[in-house]
Amino acid sequence: MSTSFAPRSDGQPLVLDHSRAPEHMAAGKVRCEACPVLCQISPGKLGACDRYGNVDGVLTRTDVLHLVARPGAELVAWQAGQAGSWDGSLLDEAATTTTDAPVFVSGIGSTTTYPDYKPAPFIVASKHEGVDLVTVVTEGIFSYCSFKVKIDTDRYLGPEQATVRHRGEAVGHVSTIEYGSQFLSLGGVHHLTGGSKKEGRIACEMMLALGNQEAVELEIEGGAKVVVGASRAPVVDGVEEKRMRVGCGSAAIGIFAPQWFGHADEVVVVDDHITGVLSEHQAGKFLDMAPSGIVLRGRRSTPGRYFQVASPGAGWGGTDIVDPLAIVEGFDSSRGARPGLRLLMVSTTGEDAAWFVLDEQLVPRPAEMPAAVAKVVERIGENCEPSLCSVLYVAGAGGSLRAGVTENPIALTRAIKQRLVNVTCGGAPVYVWPGGGITVMVDVAKMPAKSFGSVPTPAIVSPIEFTLRADDYLALGGHMDRVRSLDDVLASGGWRVVESAAGNAWPLKMPITGARP
């Protein structure tokens, strides 16, 4: 009942066959057992997920195995130097004579050994800095998974907890706002399997696209339409976001107060969260600024810091205002307002700014902004980073998938917590959440293109690799009889080499130089 790999040397995709003849199946069909759907695939056709097909009567994975290149390594030269150097005995001295691996075998295209009581599709011995390592490689099927999307914008996207829809179906919700960014939580088992069949299918399609770094259109109940995608600028109600705010209104006052001093008598930095007023703010007090008598709408939190000056929206500083004077109730002469007072109103990105001078009746009149003030407004923009969407994939790998690694799954969980195991997704570094289970989080922009797949159960398919020292693998009850040399994997064909994303640590390095107790 095991799945085996027929060696290929022609660069074609990996081929699987089955040791058990499927029952009640038409001649020529092959049965895929890589997920619970158990497709029976006719000759020349694909399974329901397009990941497997019937090629000349043989079950075949449509994507090839992805090998991540080690920067600066020469694969061809390495292969030439490897000939006959490994005798198949993992912990034998002969196995340690090979040189450092030039590629990392990722889970992308590696196939799935569902259900997981079978060893993982690839258990590969390799070497780094003279240390023998084993990498256990698979494409996991995850229904307990989701995407956390960080959208760098101050525009109002919708109320916290609001439902996020894709093509009319509920696929997630609005999470918290962090400093200059709105978070969404998208996908997850509730939407994949807890609602209607259509909701699950649409949620899965949306998740697949997000994982594969494509743009996805979302609609937030009571809020905006947004287009998000990894490393792309968000588009809010049809307008591409350019700048992430320099800080909240109070922070902007603190940063630029000395540069405004002497050029303006009052500065209001309009912000949906904290609107800053320079003369009242601690920064203005340090500069001995005279009170301006400005009376602002909203709730005064602490001196120079106002909440709720307007409603959230797509106007100045994430508020709904288009006229900045709409948040000014007036000027009080008994508190320092005077004719000729110079007032700057500016947003937290510097995209909106206006200059006023009070007339004899203490009415603010628009005037030409002095060059020295305009320069500081420009500097606000200069200090804003480009707005981007960041897409992080979160998945729980603490279940049966572990049985593909070891006959004693808790040993893998413990070894990960002890940092004896480097967990990666497509060779990209992951963050393993503390606490129980193996909950991983990875930036999809660090993974190779098209790392994700799906199956119609519905669930997401994503690569995962566990790398550890060979002796540690033996100690945790690993499937030692299934270990293959990297040379052997290369000789079987059906792979392609992809570049590692910039900044990714070499996946084989951590088990050696990481925080080993």
Nearest distance in Å: CB 43, ligand SF4:
14
**Distance separating alpha carbons of residues 438 and 510, to the nearest angstrom:** 17
Q: Write down the least CB distance from residue 33 to ligand SF4, Å.
A: 7
Placement of tokens 């002890």 in the chain: 418
Q: For residue 362, which amino acid is it?
A: L
CA 376 vs CA 323, 341, 344: distances in Å: 21, 19, 11
- Identity of the residue, 114 or 144, whose beta carbon is nearer to ligand SF4 in the bound complex: 114
Helix (H) or strand (E) holding 382: helix 371-382
Q: How far is the CB of 38 from ligand SF4 (least distance, A)?
A: 5
Task: Decide whether 35 or 251 has the Cβ nearer to ligand SF4.
Answer: 35
- The CA-to-CA distance between both ends of the chain, in Å, stands at 39
Cβ distance to ligand SF4 smaller for residue 454 or 500: 454
**Residues 241 and 234: beta-carbon distance below 8 Å:** yes
Closest CB 105 distance from ligand SF4, rounded Å:
20
Residues in the chain, overall count:
517
Which residues does residue 177 pair with via DSSP β-bridges, in sequence order? 182
| Residue 29 or 148 with smaller CB distance to ligand SF4 | 29
Q: Which residue has the tokens 């004899």?
A: 360
Tell me the CA distances in angstroms from 156 to 226, 317, 342, one per residue in order. 11, 10, 30
Least Å distance, CB 49 to ligand SF4, is: 3
Amino acid residing at 34: A
CB of residue 121 to ligand SF4, shortest distance in Å? 13
Nearer to ligand SF4, 103 or 401 (CB): 401
Q: How far apart are CB 52 and ligand SF4 at their closest, in Å?
A: 4
Q: Residue 144 or residue 356: which is nearer to ligand SF4 going by CB?
A: 144
Task: Provide Rg for the chain, Cα atoms.
Answer: 29
Residue among 38 and 94 whose Cβ is closer to ligand SF4: 38
User: What distances in angstroms separate CA 131 from CA 96, 134, 152, 512, one per listed residue?
Assistant: 8, 10, 42, 7
Interacting residues with ligand SF4 (CB under 6 A): 32, 34-35, 37-39, 47-49, 51-52, 455-456
Which residue's C-beta sits nearest to ligand SF4?
47
Q: Which tokens belong to 148?
A: 């956390």
